[in-house]
Homo-oligomer: A and B are copies of this chain.
Amino acid sequence: MDVYSRFPGPTLGDVGEAAAIRELLAAAPSGLNGDDAAVLGVLAPSSRPVITTDALVSGRHFRLDWSEPEEVGVKAVTQNVADIEAMGARPHALVLSLSAPPETPVAVARGIAAGIASEAAEYSAQLVGGDLTTSRDLVLGVSALGALGGALPALTLSGARPGQRLIASGATGRSAAGLALIERLGRNAAEEAFPGLVAAHVAPRLRPNRGIVARAAGASAATDVSDGLVADLSTLAERSGVRVDLEAAAIAPSEEMRAAADELGEDAWRWALTGGEDHVIVAALEGPAPSGFREIGRVGRGSGVTVDGRAPRYAGGWLSL
C-alpha cells in the first residue's frame, strides 16, 4: 500500500504474530502485560471501576499519509480517556486491539503502541494488554479503565440542572479546522501556517484530570465533545431535560481559527459549533469555573441548545456511519 511506502523495514506479515507482539510490548513496556489478562492494583477504597471503548479506523478517523503512527496512538488515548474524564473519573489502564493488514509495516504498529504508551503516561495510566489480528483496514480498538473515587455521583449526561453554569476545558472546532487545512493544503503547508490546529486534529490532547477537578468543584453533569459542541450538548440537554444556553463570545472561534477559515473560504463558526473530536470536557455546576475551565454558558429550563438565545447558526455533527 502506498501509504506505507514511507515506513521502511519488515511488515507484520513478514515477521509473524509472535514477533510483532514482542515489538508492541517493547514499544509500550508494562510490568502488567504479558499474561492472559492484566491484573491491576487494588483501586482506592470505595472506588468504582469505569470502562469505555472507542475505535479509530484508518481512512476514516486518521490517515497515515497525514499522521505519524505515534500521533494516531495519541488520538486513540485521548478519545478514550476523555470518556473516562467525562464521568469525573481517573484513567488507569488501556488495552489495544489492533487489527491490521499483513502488509502493515512493523514500524507503524510500533509507533502506534509507543504513542499510546507515552500519552497514557500523561495520565499516569498504562497500556496493559492487547491483541493483534489481521483485517483489511487498520483499526485501533482501544478500551480504557478508570476509577471513580469517593461517594459523589459520577458526572452523567442526565445530571444537568437549570441554573447551573456550563464550563469547558478548551475550545471546540480546532480538530475540524486542522482537518480542513490538511485536506486543502496538505499537512506540510497546513502545519507551517497553523501548527496548533493541525496538532489538534492529528493528535488531540487533553489537560489530564479535568474530570476529577470538575467533580470536586461540584459538577453534576459532563460530556466530552466528540461529535460536535451542539450535537453533544443537545444530547446532554435532552438527557437532563434542560436547555443549554451558550454564550457566543465564550465559544467564538479564536483568531487562529478565523485566519484558517479565511484562508480556506470557510466559516470558522461551523467548525466551532459542529466540529468533532476535540474531546474537550464540558461540565455543568453551580459554582465558578475551576482550574483549567472557563464558563461558556448556562443551563436553563426547556429543551435544546441556543447561542445567545437563538438557534445555533450550524447544527449537526460528526455522527454518521
The residues of A with any CB-CB pair to B shorter than 8 Å are 12-13, 16-18, 20, 34-43, 46-57, 60-61, 82-84, 86-87, 89, 92-93, 95-97, 99, 102, 128-137, 139, 141, 143-146, 148, 154, 156-158, 222-224, 319-321
Q: Please state if B18 and A130 are interface contacts (CB–CB under 8 Å).
A: no
Q: Which of A55, A60, A92, A156 has the most CB of B within 10 A?
A: A55
Q: Which residue of B lies closest to A320 (CB)?
A: B17
Contact B97 A17 (CB under 8 A): no
Give every chain B residue within 8 A of A18 (Cβ-Cβ). Answer: 319
Known: A49-B145, A83-B36. A54 touches B321 (CB 8 A): no
Known: A53-B95, A55-B131, A57-B99. A36 touches B141 (CB 8 A): no
Residue from B49, B53, B131, B133 in contact with A131 in the complex, judged by beta carbons closer than 8 Å: B53
Number of copies: 2
* A86 vs B39: C-alpha distance when bound (angstroms): 11
Cα(A157)–Cα(B36), bound, Å? 8
User: Is there contact, CB below 8 Å, between A157 and B35?
Assistant: yes
A82: min CB distance to chain B, Å: 8
Q: List 6 A-B contacts (CB under 8 A).
A: A37-B89, A39-B148, A43-B49, A55-B97, A55-B133, A133-B139
In the complex, the answer to whether A41 meets B36 with C-beta atoms within 8 Å is no
Residues of B within 8 A of A137 (CB): 99, 135-137
Q: Which residue of B39, B57, B141, B158 contacts A50 across the interface (Cβ within 8 Å)? A: B39
Closest residue of B by beta carbon distance from A224? B36
Given contacts A20-B321, A37-B146, list 10 more A-B pairs with CB under 8 A: A35-B156, A37-B89, A39-B87, A40-B48, A51-B143, A53-B129, A53-B131, A53-B141, A60-B135, A145-B145
User: How far does the alpha carbon of A196 sit from the alpha carbon of B100 in the complex, in Å?
Assistant: 33
Query: In the assembled complex, how far is the CB of residue A94 from the closest CB belonging to chain B, in whole angstroms?
Result: 9
Contact A95 B52 (CB under 8 A): yes
Contact across chains for A97 and B97 when beta carbons are under 8 A apart: yes
Compute how far the CA of A191 lies from the CA of B12 in the bound complex, rounded to whole angstroms.
Answer: 36
Report the bound CA distance from A225 to B31 in whole Å: 23
Of the residues B84, B134, B143, B319, contact of A97 by C-beta under 8 Å: B143
In the bound assembly, the distance between CA atoms of A129 and B142 in angstroms comes to 13
Closest to A318 in B: B17
Q: How far is the CB of A100 from chain B (nearest CB, A)?
A: 8
Question: Which B residue sits closest to A136, measured CB to CB?
Answer: B136
* A95-B52, A321-B132 known; A36 vs B145 contact (CB < 8 Å): no
Given the complex of chains A and B, what is the CA–CA distance between A219 and B320 in angstroms?
49
CA distance A18 to B227 in the complex (A): 12
- Identify A52's interface contact among B37, B53, B224, CB under 8 A: B37
